[in-house]
Amino acid sequence: MDEILKLLVDDARTTPAQLAILTGRPEADVRAAIAGYEHDGTIVKYRAVLNPEKTGEANGVVRAWIEVSITPQRGQGFDAIAARIYQFKEVQSCYLLSGGYDLLLLVECGSLREVGAFVAEKLAAQENVTRTATHFLLKVYKEHGDVLQPAETMPRLPISM
């Protein structure tokens, strides 16, 4: 991966002037590289990583990981089915996996009932979906490489024999 991209992944607020200093490249070249990455879709979006417990988003939002088994469509494989599924507003992320399940979805809803309704009425109703397993997110400690809930340091308990 290009050094500019690595630095932007670490901190998207890094300015082209700072990137030029860090990479030893002229600022104009850095700006041109970033513009090229944005134009060709390498850089899709800039995003802040937020702690949902600090913003209040943890209240009233239920996040669930849903594993989905599907039967691939002839001539289209998994792509067409995944595209139908990731269009639902509840689906925040959709991944193709190896292993026991084919897709992994991150879903956000307003309640446990809404997650259940999404699975029963929208997801399981898809023609090629054969099985699902839902896991509810209870707490986020680290996301996208960033620690959101630093571990509290606890003193070691003495061991006696």
Tens of pLDDT, residue by residue over 96-144, are 999 999 999 999 999 999 999 999 999 999 989 999 999 998 888 888 7
**DSSP helix/strand/coil, 99:** coil
For residues 36 and 87, state if they share a domain.
Answer: no
Do 62 and 133 share a domain, yes or no? yes
Same domain, 80 and 114: yes
Confidence tier at 155 by pLDDT (50, 70, 90): low
Least confident of 7-21, 71-85, 95-109, 136-150: 136-150
Would you say 68 and 123 are in contact if contact means Cβ atoms under 8 Å apart?
yes
Q: Is position 147 within any domain?
A: no
Most confident listed range (37-41, 52-56, 156-160): 37-41
pLDDT for position 74: 86
Task: Please tell me the distance from the alpha carbon of residue 126 to that of residue 110, in angstroms, as a whole number.
Answer: 22
In this structure, is residue 52 part of a structural domain?
A: no
Q: What is the mean pLDDT of residues 56-64?
A: 75
Question: Per mean pLDDT, which range of 30-34, 56-60, 119-123 is the poorest?
Answer: 56-60
One-letter identity of residue 94: C
- 8 phi/psi in degrees, rounded to 5: -70, -35
pLDDT of amino acid 49: 74
- Asked if residue 150 is part of any domain, the answer here is no
Instruction: Summarize the confidence of residues 33-62 as an average pLDDT.
Output: 81
Overall average pLDDT of the 18-36 stretch: 95
- Kindly state whether residues 31 and 64 are assigned to the same domain: no
d(CA 78, CA 98): 12
| CATH assignment of the domain containing 115 | 3.30.70.920
User: Which pLDDT value is given to residue 159?
Assistant: 76
CA distance 115 to 127: 19
Note down the domain range covering 92: 57-138
Q: Domain tally for the chain?
A: 2
